[in-house]
Structure 1
Amino acid sequence: DKAVLFKTFMKVLAQRKNLMATFMAKWSEKYPGQSGHIHCSLMDLENNPVFSTKETGEMSEVMVNFLGGLQKYSKEFMALVAPTTNSYKRLCVGAWAPINMTWGKENRTTGFRVIEGSPHSQRIENRLPGADANPYLALAATFGAGLLGIKEKLQPTEPIHGGAYFIKVEDHHKVPGSLLEAAQLFKKSEAARSIWGDQFVDHFSATRVWEHEQFLKNSRLFENKQKISNWELKRYFEII
């Protein structure tokens, strides 16, 4: 709720000063993109944190499984956290944005950053969402993937030490290359259908395919992945 209100407030404040605030994921290739990272942790019914059970900061099995779920299912849910054609121009090498579903401790080049600390502060940062994401859908994707990981007792890969941009990863751990690919993955995802139902998955994936088609029809620069087209700026700069 605060994220939505903040965006609205900033746009109103900027307008009063004859400016325009934008939350496009990547409005210029000259600058890093704008993120919408999600820091997440869980508590039990007695409000006790469950990601860490020791003051040493050791990851609990619940946290490990949650992380495993993020790694396994985030690619299928990517359309929810990166919902525009412009979203995927933020996810590039060297801009402190992830390009894969790897994880590491205090690693800002991976898709998921584990932040160690006291039981109440230990958490996982999902670095995939951009500022253009609907925060409610991004939260649903994050916790949906994580809870499936707990349910299935999934194990994550080994943590990444150092840069994660030039390492070899499995295809299912690579960020989708476009909104169209993300929409197709979401539509085919049995996990997504188990969480949100057929009606939502079919409808949302169709809207993302349509969005991609509009981009292809109207942008002359779509072949250059990092170039921001005039069509993107006209479509997204003000409304996002």
Structure 2
Amino acid sequence: MSDWTEKLPAAARRYLEGRRLDEVECIISDLPGIARGKAMPASKFAKQGRFYLPNSIFFQTITGDWAQAAGEGGYTEPDMILTPDYTTATAAPWTADWTLQVIHDAALQNGEPVPMAPRNVLKRVVEFYHKRGWKPVVAPEMEFYLVARNIDPAHEIEPMMGRSGRPAAARQAYSMSAVDEYGPVIDDIYDFAEAQGFEIDGITQEGGAGQVEINLRHGDPVRLADEIFYFKRLIREAALRHDCFATFMAKPIEGEPGSAMHVHHSVTDMETGQNIFSGPDGEETDAFRHFIGGLQTYMPAGIALLAPYVNSYRRYVKDHAAPINLAWGRDNRTTGIRVPIAEPEARRVENRLAGMDCNPYLGIAASLACGYLGLVEKIEPTAEYIGDAYDAEEEVPRGLFSALDLFDASEELQELLHPDFARVYSIVKQAEYDEFLQVISPWEREHLLLNV
């Protein structure tokens, strides 16, 4: 083995034990969370410590079109410098040969971090915490659907066929029998995760037909975002092995619950290691309240990152397993901000607004940024909501267009994330929305063709 392989995490070294590495995938996340980069022979990777990609990958919409977001310099597509973060090296166990994936850090040619790169956005927010002596901790939950293969976009998405020969059934939350229906897919997810060195805290059946939730252990925000970035590809590959698709759309099937990326937050003191949400006697602290206050105050402006597509807003439906406001409550799953039952040292705040379609780096960054602003501005939350929060007033933007207006108006949030990132993100999302408006839906043809 060459010297660089000695820098690999233990799981990657175990994966390669007694084998010859064939290929390395050098990747970064674009704005939607798609892996972009280059694959090269391992022998070539060993000879170079960096490679280059044009910055235009951050100007591309989800459809593959290009937004006019290049800035004053014009659309010249200058190269970024990408260097490997060896701590992220992990197997690609679904490939035919022996392949590693390595996430790279993206820098401008002057050495500064590329402000539009989602991983850099999250690192920037985390650094704001560190400068205050705080260490943010997150624990994400991933919901997704296993669905029948869909190769015609004109056809509705349908549940996958289970091993019983019947389509996956809805309304089976926490059913072990329902999970068994697609057990072979789950088995491959476990196997792939083990090969990649990822620890799954639990897998459960959710309420939708073929809807699954995977919980991850709490830890460093950047590391957990890296894992979700990897997990999305891992899960898709496991599904393809069994003649089905995995989808992370926020609302893939009409009438079924949407898929969320709930994020649990806590903050520790970097010197003492103590959870700042709990006092010496286990009581709730000012910091605990202020974090919630920050989420309530700034989350409307951050929704554009937590719900990044037109489909995302179909999830926020009253009485349908997704929040419609920013109420907070203890052990109350109808609120947008939930405080789970926990011992004082594990006291945390769960943000239930993010959809699973968000870029994990950007979704976690936005949520942490809102909580940070609450901490530094000492924002008091509203009174705890008691009862069914679906009876309260709606506070979530009803669509992407209004969400972007709120995002554009929030100088505080944009400064934390980075003004250049905020500018590019907004332009790209506006371009996507314009693309969407050119598509005529079946609903319009059914109800407007002959009636208006």
| TM-score bracket, shorter-length normalisation | 0.7 to 0.9
The corresponding residue for 2:312 is 87
Post-superposition offset of 1:55: 5.7
**Structure 1 or 2: more strand by fraction:** 2
**Counterpart selection for 2:273 from 39, 47, 69:** 47
Query: Is 2:325–2:392's contact at 8 Å kept on the other side of the alignment?
Result: no
1:183 aligned to 2:404?
Answer: yes
2:350 maps to amino acid: E
Distance, in Å, in 2 between the alignment partners of 1:213 and 1:190 is: 24
Distance, in Å, in 2 between the alignment partners of 1:196 and 1:11 is: 29
The corresponding residue for 1:229 is none
Distance, in Å, in 2 between the alignment partners of 1:97 and 1:156 is: 21
**Counterpart selection for 2:392 from 167, 191, 205:** 167
Query: Is 2:325–2:393's contact at 8 Å kept on the other side of the alignment?
Result: no
| Other structure's SS at 1:43 match | strand
Query: Where do 1:23-172 residues align within 5 Å?
Result: 23-45=248-270, 46-54=272-280, 56=282, 58-168=283-393
Larger radius of gyration: 2
Larger deviation, residues 1-10 vs 93-102 = 1-10
1:205 aligned to 2:431?
Answer: no
Distance, in Å, in 1 between the alignment partners of 2:367 and 2:388 is: 23
RMSD after superposition: 1.6
Aligned length: 218
1:15 maps to amino acid: L
The corresponding residue for 2:204 is none
Larger deviation, residues 36-45 vs 183-192 = 183-192
Question: Alpha-carbon deviations, 1:42-91, whole Å to 9, x = none?
Answer: 000122111112565x3211110010000000001111111111110001
Identity %: 39
| Other structure's SS at 1:40 match | strand
1:8 aligned to 2:229?
Answer: no
Structure 1: any 5+ residue segments left out of the alignment?
Answer: 224-240
Query: Is 1:52–1:118's contact at 8 Å kept on the other side of the alignment?
Result: no
Distance, in Å, in 2 between the alignment partners of 1:129 and 1:165 is: 17
Post-superposition offset of 1:215: 1.6
Question: Alpha-carbon deviations, 1:172-228, whole Å to 9, x = none?
Answer: xx10110111111111211122212321111101111112222221142678xxxxx
* Cα 1:197/1:4, change in 2 over 3 Å: closer
| Other structure's SS at 1:42 match | strand
Distance, in Å, in 1 between the alignment partners of 2:287 and 2:439 is: 46
Question: Alpha-carbon deviations, 1:137-163, whole Å to 9, x = none?
Answer: 111111101111010110000111111
Distance, in Å, in 2 between the alignment partners of 1:212 and 1:218 is: 10
Query: Is 1:184–1:205's contact at 8 Å kept on the other side of the alignment?
Result: no
Query: Is 1:115–1:125's contact at 8 Å kept on the other side of the alignment?
Result: yes
| Other structure's SS at 2:379 match | coil
2:278 maps to amino acid: S
Structure 2: any 5+ residue segments left out of the alignment?
Answer: 1-225, 445-452
Distance, in Å, in 1 between the alignment partners of 2:363 and 2:426 is: 15
Distance, in Å, in 1 between the alignment partners of 2:298 and 2:440 is: 31
Question: Alpha-carbon deviations, 1:19-45, whole Å to 9, x = none?
Answer: 110000000122101010000100001
1:194 aligned to 2:434?
Answer: no
Distance, in Å, in 2 between the alignment partners of 1:85 and 1:102 is: 24
**Structure 1 or 2: more helix by fraction:** 1
Distance, in Å, in 1 between the alignment partners of 2:313 and 2:238 is: 28
Higher relative contact order (CA 8 A, sep 6+): 1
Larger deviation, residues 22-31 vs 196-205 = 196-205
Distance, in Å, in 1 between the alignment partners of 2:247 and 2:333 is: 24
| Other structure's SS at 1:74 match | helix
Distance, in Å, in 2 between the alignment partners of 1:219 and 1:161 is: 42
Distance, in Å, in 2 between the alignment partners of 1:128 and 1:22 is: 18
TM-score when scaled to structure 2?
0.47
The corresponding residue for 2:217 is none
Post-superposition offset of 1:14: 0.7
| Other structure's SS at 1:157 match | coil
Distance, in Å, in 1 between the alignment partners of 2:305 and 2:337 is: 16
Post-superposition offset of 1:2: 1.8
Query: Where do 1:205-224 residues align within 5 Å?
Result: 205-220=426-441
